[in-house]
Structure 1
Amino acid sequence: MVDNILYSIIAAALVGVVAIVPTVSCAKPPCSTSSTPVCLNLQNCTNVDAWGLQVEVGTRGQARQKICLVPSTVINATYTLGSEICNNDNSLNKTCQASHGGTFDRTLLAGFTSRSTSVNGGVEGFWDDLNGPVETFGDVEFAVAGFTQLKNYEIGVVTNGTKFNLGQLGLGPKSSFLQALKDQGFIDRLMFGFDAGSQSPYNPRPGHIVLGGYDQSRVAGNFAEFDINYEDTEFRPCPFRVEIQKIDVLFEKTMKTTAFIDLESRNPYACIEPYDNLFRFPSGRLASLESIGLGQGRVDSDWLPNLQVNEPGWRYKAGNPGAFSLDIVLNGLDEDFKIVIPNEELAHPLRGIDNNGTWAVDRNYTELNIFQESAVRNTIVLGKAFLSQVYLAVDYEAGKFYLAASSPSTAGCNPAPFGCSNEHDKKANSITVAGYVGLAFGIASFLILGVLLGLGIWFWKSGRLDRYRRRGVNITERVPDFGTYTQQNTKDMRVLARQASLRPCSNESPDRQTFGSAIGLRRTMS
């Protein structure tokens, strides 16, 4: 019995020691310290929807051309839009140039040598299916403001197709841009952090992309961890594929919440895509949105304003629809990711580019950040309207991406390697409050159990435990034949057992012997 007590105390002490180890309740991107992250601004490169990176493309000894590229995971290559895209209608050339973020005229670069295929060997099947293959490639000096140029960098020049808005800076899992940065020593891992900023007219803010790390000033809260998807989903690239636990629509006037998408829905998956501005849903989902209250007051989709709108959303007469927000929960690996997209990121006055190529607003109409057509390949897409509230961190070499609530701060970029930021580690990515509570509880438990263990050893060594056993304790048991209860002492029972072992056997049954002996003992005691 003594040994069992000691073993139990020791086991409890070990549990207390384990409790000392604090728990970490958030995912944390791995640490990389061998290179300094590079922060680049995301903003309007021209004067309206060209929200991306302004880059300079040229060849040695030639003037560089400035164009706007949007980060995209749809492709891995870097595609610029050729001047041929806007040469079909000179009367609207300014509108075309503005809506596409500028075009690249390769005929102005004497050192640009065209070839018909990519030396990188990548096949952009999704792009090719929508627009046809790109057939013009060449090497350039590729520079971004505030960033040392990449030499002999291959770009593709798009000369045909219509299923695009701007040129694309491919950031897919096999990104030629990220690989070139690594090969030329600017980063040591294929990783980046992305803050889309906000294009809301009510509270606009620029965004940032950090190469080789993330912007710690734009992260509020903990990261949720997800696996990168390397397979095409529904015949389209979707590296940042997420499972939707729910999307609810909250109407602010009535404070009524209506379920839109949940886990019981068919195919509750979505692609997070920084290239797209809007939320994109299949036709069935759009019908659901109409039925729960967003169909009232809509303008016919065939109606076109006197503006060039690259990515048209649902349009309404001013005053419709009522203000609402989206409550979104995504299933992460260790914990769910929850975010609310407010109304200011979902609705705004209609805006676009006029015939002079300038930014214009028509306040007689309201536009939602919900694409008016069915999503390509019936795949839900969470674009920059979603990312306006979400920080995205990606580490392709670890096969992980991370989501966190984004901070509304408009402070300058504060880049840090993943997992190595002192400031953000204190706030979100190191031991959390729950961990410190566990630490305090574990230490207290260990001290208490240590005292109990010491008392147990003292009790045993001092002989008090043996005296306790010799003295015995009183126990109460029921006498079946009489239906009464009697109280006995364990010391007396041990004496009885020893006496019984010394007596010769009788003809009584063992039960009768024991019961009779007990009655005799009680009579003797009385």
Structure 2
Amino acid sequence: MASFAFYLGANALFAQAVLAFNCSIPPIYVDIHKRAVHDSPAFQYGSFIGLGTPAQNQSLWPSLSQNHTSFSSNTFCDNSTLKDCDRSTGGFYVKEDSSTFKPKGKDFQPLDKQNDSSRGLFASETVRLYTHYFETDGASQTLLEDVDIEVVVNSSTTPSIVGIGQASTILQGLVAQNKIAARTYSLYIGQGFDRAGGSVNGSNAFGGYDSGRFTGQAHSFSMNTANRNPFSVTVKDIIITETGNPNSNTSLFDAKKFPSAKQPSAFTAQITTDQYPLSLPYQITQNFIKHLDATKDNYWGDNSLKLRSQFNGTLSIVIAGDNGDFTVTLPQEVLVNASNITPIQDRTEASSAPFLLSTAFLSQVYLMADFETFKFYLAEAVQKNNIVMPETFCPKAVPSAYERPKQGAWMKQGLIGAVIGGVLGGIGIAICAYCFVLGCQRRRAEKRVERAIEKSKQSKMAQFEVEEVQSFDPPPKASKVLFWKRGKK
């Protein structure tokens, strides 16, 4: 892990030394949804990323703690115990088919602590980030050449990961190749995967954020760089509310409602994408079980609790931020699914694992991270944003949500539509009347021209006419003189 500490030290020096960033560079937007992936029979949910030359398309899951971006070897399922392996890896990578694959030597030191159950090889490769705003449109790509990747050969967990940790090789490579302004990043994980059971897609924004994806104030927090996962927050309260009964608010911290020798208090939790259910302190978990009559369940293999009877309500988490409290509410469909399974994980009293606000939490939250100043921001996510509006996330800047133009009284009451309709209708009528008058004038002009032409023709014909010649009587015929008859009596 010495190399990891060195990497973090270098990052800190880099952040202090840089006086200005080129914040005119636009961010790189990469969507998250189900798609066809290389050598897999099923559509898989994840970030739209390709690897190698020619490209082998993958669906990668974002990780806030891993630094390397990893891919599944084409032999991965030969040894893995991953459930439904051929449909769950995010795609397969065949290194022999890529002309840009360059294996790393044995002295290469990875940035992430390797899981005992995983085994892979490291290489430099060409990574292709696809920008795909709408599913019906074609995708454009951003090439990131010679970036360090891991090709996972064996693991019991999903190997296809986009590493967005403190020393993320993707972010480092994008900055080094001047493709984004700084090591900033934003994430909405979405709900379009099987465990969440929703249909809303997510997105990554490298070097920026999507101003249309969140609403309200962006709440500020400081990263805890001592942890592998630096996204830590303080949870002040957790409240369960029954729908339609505003007076039913029940705090899982309430000592009167839940008397116990070990009263719960504010606790620190890490934000993670490594699992779906939340992992809360033992006593708070017990209070949840008691209040909603929950029981242990392992249908999804993650020890989520299941309710014995249907509950219609919400769960709100109150977090202390640098600029005020931030409340995140898990709605009814997230708190209890159709099978009465909750996003709260069972926990033993002896467990020393960190408390986690996991993917279920992030399905309602937009996360924006500034690794240059080691600050991050949380805001209420807009579940369905019909317009994607990527903005450059410049270090030290506070992200701001898109604000729709304010509507006046006429706009709100629909009067502006009537006025616009009347104006447009009047303009249309005026144009029709003008065209009618113009047509009539044109027709009259054509008639005048026709009459003038006819008159001209008649004049020309008159010039060629011949007057009638008067008839004269012919001259009298001359009579012949008969001389021999002269003097005859």
Normalised to the residue count of structure 1, the TM-score between the two structures is: 0.61
SS in 1 for 2:230: coil
Q: Structure with the greater relative contact order (CA < 8 A, sep ≥ 6): 1 or 2?
A: 1
1:328 & 1:287 partners in 2: Cα distance? 16
- Residue of structure 1 equivalent to 2:153: 159
Alignment of 1:430-469 (within 5 A): none
Preserved CA contact (<8 Å) 1:193 1:210 = yes
SS in 1 for 2:252: strand
2:164 aligned with 1:190: no
Cα distance, 1:40–1:108 mapped onto 2, change above 3 Å:
same
Preserved CA contact (<8 Å) 1:205 1:410 = no
Preserved CA contact (<8 Å) 2:218 2:399 = no
Preserved CA contact (<8 Å) 1:218 1:407 = yes
Alignment of 1:5-404 (within 5 A): 33-45=23-35, 50-59=44-53, 63-88=54-79, 95-109=84-98, 112-115=101-104, 117=106, 119=108, 121-125=109-113, 128-129=114-115, 131-132=117-118, 134-145=119-130, 146-162=140-156, 164-199=157-192, 204-232=199-227, 237-252=228-243, 256-261=248-253, 265=264, 268-281=267-280, 283-295=282-294, 298=295, 300-301=297-298, 309=300, 311=302, 313-315=304-306, 320-349=309-338, 365-372=339-346, 377-404=352-379
Code of the aligned partner of 2:127: F
SS in 1 for 2:342: strand
User: Cα offset for 1:84?
Assistant: 3.4
User: Cα offset for 1:291?
Assistant: 1.7
2:301 & 2:42 partners in 1: Cα distance? 10
The structure whose Rg is larger is 2
- Residue of structure 2 equivalent to 1:415: 390
Preserved CA contact (<8 Å) 2:236 2:266 = no
User: 5+ residue gaps in structure 2?
Assistant: 1-19, 131-139, 256-262, 406-489
Code of the aligned partner of 1:198: Q
Preserved CA contact (<8 Å) 1:244 1:261 = no
Preserved CA contact (<8 Å) 1:278 1:385 = yes
SS in 2 for 1:348: coil
Deviations along 1:121-177, one digit per CA (max 9) or x if unpaired, are 44322xx25535x44111211112233111112211222332x23421110111111
State, as a whole percentage, how many aligned pairs show the same letter.
23
1:259 & 1:204 partners in 2: Cα distance? 31
User: Cα offset for 1:254?
Assistant: 6.0
Cα distance, 1:377–1:186 mapped onto 2, change above 3 Å:
farther
- Count of matched residue positions in the alignment of Structure 1 and Structure 2: 360
Code of the aligned partner of 1:209: N
SS in 2 for 1:83: coil
1:344 & 1:93 partners in 2: Cα distance? 28
User: Cα offset for 1:385?
Assistant: 1.6
Cα distance, 1:311–1:39 mapped onto 2, change above 3 Å:
farther
Code of the aligned partner of 1:416: E
- Determine which structure has the larger helix proportion and give its number: 1
User: Cα offset for 1:421?
Assistant: 10
Preserved CA contact (<8 Å) 2:305 2:341 = yes
Cα distance, 1:96–1:257 mapped onto 2, change above 3 Å:
same
2:320 & 2:399 partners in 1: Cα distance? 28
Cα distance, 1:51–1:276 mapped onto 2, change above 3 Å:
farther
Code of the aligned partner of 1:213: G
1:283 & 1:55 partners in 2: Cα distance? 39
1:218 & 1:39 partners in 2: Cα distance? 12
Alignment partner of 1:405 out of 376, 380, 390: 380
SS in 1 for 2:103: coil
User: Cα offset for 1:109?
Assistant: 3.8
Preserved CA contact (<8 Å) 1:99 1:166 = no
User: Cα offset for 1:99?
Assistant: 1.9
Cα distance, 1:31–1:260 mapped onto 2, change above 3 Å:
farther
SS in 1 for 2:31: strand
SS in 2 for 1:336: strand
1:250 & 1:426 partners in 2: Cα distance? 30
Cα distance, 1:113–1:165 mapped onto 2, change above 3 Å:
same
Normalised to the residue count of structure 2, the TM-score between the two structures is: 0.65
1:115 & 1:53 partners in 2: Cα distance? 25
Give the superposed CA RMSD: 3.5
2:284 & 2:106 partners in 1: Cα distance? 39
SS in 2 for 1:411: coil
SS in 1 for 2:127: strand
Code of the aligned partner of 1:222: Q
User: Cα offset for 1:426?
Assistant: 5.8
Cα distance, 1:86–1:203 mapped onto 2, change above 3 Å:
closer
1:281 & 1:35 partners in 2: Cα distance? 40
1:324 & 1:139 partners in 2: Cα distance? 49
1:266 & 1:85 partners in 2: Cα distance? 44
2:76 & 2:283 partners in 1: Cα distance? 33
